[in-house]
Homo-oligomer: A and B are copies of this chain.
Amino acid sequence: MIVDMPKLWTETIDAHRAAVRDAALDAMAALVAEHGLVALTMSQIAEKAGIGRATLYKYFPDAQAVLTAWHERQITAHLDQLAAVADQAAPAVVRLQAVLRTYAHIQHHSARHHGGELATLLHHGEHVDRVRRRLRDFVQSLIAEAAQDGDVRDDVAADELAAYCLHALTAAGGLSGQDAVHRLVAVTLAGLTPSALRR
């Protein structure tokens, strides 16, 4: 029993740390939704999270760091969701369609609940850049595969097409219903049509 103690203790500490961190990020998201980004201060975040200011400073050096961590958490969750959708035995273009549809719905949903891609275009930390690159790489590899199958245009590089898709689909944040989101996905996919299939 005694030999197990340190491990249990460590796990408890880890769980506590994760909970404090999550509370801070949730508080930040709520504050941004209420007041906009500029209003963010460490005191406000601590108060909203129900933790002491000194505690918050043990986790994050400043409000920008909380914002970065929150954004990283968001994109990581979205990546997991997209990876699950793409995990099927279907042609690349079908998996691409499923992924883009899911991404559009995430955009549509999060615009309503977290002020959307609020942080997407903020001053980037190294971590956020890395996780955004993973999202882009993921879509890019599906596009490259579909292009090899002849289902997506190959006259424009897959990385540029991935950037086009991800930006176009952020328009879902401003759309008013699921039908409009589906039309946006269809229009975005039409931009990927191989040139041989267009006049």
Chain A residues proximal to chain B, CB less than 8 Å: 32, 35-40, 62-64, 67, 115-118, 120-123, 153, 156, 160-161, 163-164, 166-171, 174-175, 180, 183-184, 186-193, 197-199
Contacts and interface: CB of A to CB of B under 8 A. Distances in A.
Given A156-B187, A163-B171, 20 more contacts: A35-B64, A35-B123, A36-B123, A118-B121, A153-B190, A156-B183, A156-B186, A160-B183, A161-B187, A164-B184, A164-B187, A166-B171, A167-B171, A168-B171, A187-B191, A187-B192, A188-B191, A190-B190, A190-B193, A191-B191
A164 B160 contact: no
The prevalent SS among residues of A at the interface is helix
B197 A184 contact: no
B168 A191 contact: yes
B167 A163 contact: no
A169 B164 CA distance: 7
A122 B187 contact: no
Given A163-B171, A164-B188, A168-B164, A121 B123 contact: no
